[in-house]
A and B are shown apart, each in its own frame.
Chain A
């Protein structure tokens, strides 16, 4: 192919404007604050208003706020209020990731086994709901779990039909309506539902690629199915597991949609605070500082995972004793 430098120009321009500059902006906003300049208004004899600054100089234009480099927002970030939010975000993301792994790994394992004639078709059916808009997916759970939602209407129908069930529910101290939504569990449910496929896909891809002769060799050498799972399948599937963990953890730790819809604003996460800073409370500088924090958390997390990946890589060569 003949080299053509002209091709590079639009692409590099795009990368500079839409990737590099925005990131630089976040860093800049994150390490600066707006400071108002103190001044006094003086009405002169001719009726014109001038503004006297602290150092005695006089300007005719009303002094604007100035941007100064300051780490005040970093101090604000480690205040207990925000630290608690970050910890809660991390906790919920970790719980979600663990649940997705526990639910998703067996799915990938079973589908790659011999039970299903068309495993790829089943995988497609499992991923299919992900193709619906993710707000609609979350919304569907809202309409089920709402106080006047589908599940509650079924429960009250059951209570009318079976008096014993009604009495039991009363004795358990459950009100007329069971409250499912607007708490941490609802947020976790929303996340697991939305992100489960992100865990299944990469694990399936990795397990599917495992050379079957390895498993046959293990069986020939007398390994029980359990042993060959532990010694062959599991180690080889680690890269897929790690990718799945990243794909679930990162969106889970930064989401603000699920926490707002399923949590009804009662379970604010770090993403909600960032969204707030760019919306209602409008402190772009603090919002940027928090974004930097999120970036660092995500990068540190991925760095740690990468490390595990390298250490756990199964040996490629066969050892002959």
Chain B
């Protein structure tokens, strides 16, 4: 009886979390502009979505900024983590707390402070400032996910590589990088999702007509509801769903091969 109650509670919470999404998906197939009634099944909104120039260019911006920002911040963050790792304790702690600052700050403050920076440097707000800002707030997350892997590293490995005649670069590419790769990869994924999901920082640091999906959705939602956005949400939700299920299934499979107990489902947060 108690067990049933507990399960029912989880069910209720799931209903609360999923009801809006399910309704959104249902109504994205509704052939009637107002949601007041059901006008039959249609794919009209999906057609309109893919022919809407504003939304399509925003999607392009979101994806290109996301990928570029993730690549740049992964490189910068990995290099930074290695540099930090080699520092002496005192200066390292100082630099670490500086790097952690943006994560303590609220997004609004980060956004407006970057806006002030570009104004001071007389940089016109646009694609470049948007990209720089995204790199800016993604780097700390990459550092955070690479650092633990560096700590686990055997300090003698690199030395051994060099004793065996590897140049420092070879030693890094062949020995260090493969070992810290999981951290680098999860940093990349985190940066990518943070960038794609970001609204607040983008809002303050873009201009000259460059806008990403979040900003476009915001302006559309402020004007009122459009079934096109329902269609868009449905597609995004499907992508996320398939992606996450895929990641976790491959995890399950690889771990059952090695006969290890599956301890957790990966949620790259």
Residues of A participating in the B interface, judged by any CB pair closer than 8 Å: 1-4, 7-8, 10-12, 14-15, 17-23, 25-26, 29, 103, 106-107, 110-111, 113, 115-116, 118, 120-129, 131-144, 146, 148-150, 152-153, 156, 193, 196, 201, 250-251, 253-254, 256-257, 260-261, 271, 274-275, 278, 284, 287-288, 291, 294-295, 298-299, 302
Contacts and interface: CB of A to CB of B under 8 A. Distances in A.
B109 A294 contact: yes
A123 B265 contact: yes
B47 to A, nearest CB: 20
A11 to B, nearest CB: 4
B69 to A, nearest CB: 12
Contact of B21 (A140, A250, A260, A299): A140
Nearest to A26: B113
B57 interface: no
Contact of B244 (A128, A137, A138, A201): A128
Contacts, number: 231
Contacts of A14: 76, 80, 136, 139
Contacts of B36: 148, 152-153, 156
Contacts of B269: 127, 201
A18 B132 contact: yes
Contact of A143 (B102, B225, B236): B225
Interface string B235-269: 01100110010001000000000000011110101
A153 B6 contact: no
Contacts of B200: 256-257
A298 B106 contact: yes
A57 B83 CA distance: 56
23 contacts: A1-B85, A1-B176, A4-B86, A11-B76, A11-B79, A18-B135, A19-B136, A22-B116, A23-B113, A25-B120, A111-B10, A116-B10, A120-B263, A127-B267, A129-B21, A132-B236, A135-B218, A136-B217, A140-B21, A150-B23, A257-B199, A261-B222, A271-B108
Nearest to B266: A124
A135 B110 CA distance: 19
A118 B87 CA distance: 42
Most buried by B among A20, A124, A261, A294: A124
B106 A134 contact: no
A15 B106 contact: no
Q: Which of A131, A256, A271 has the most CB of B within 10 A?
A: A131
A227 to B, nearest CB: 17
A193 B16 contact: yes
B101 A135 contact: no
Interface residues of B, number: 88
Contact of B116 (A2, A26, A254, A275): A26
Given A133-B217, A136-B233, A18 B20 contact: no
Contacts of A8: 83, 87
A21 B116 CA distance: 10
A195 to B, nearest CB: 12
Nearest to B237: A132
A103 B225 contact: no
A298 B24 CA distance: 35
B70 interface: no
Nearest to B76: A14
Contact of B162 (A2, A26, A134, A150): A2
A138 B136 CA distance: 26
A260 B223 CA distance: 11
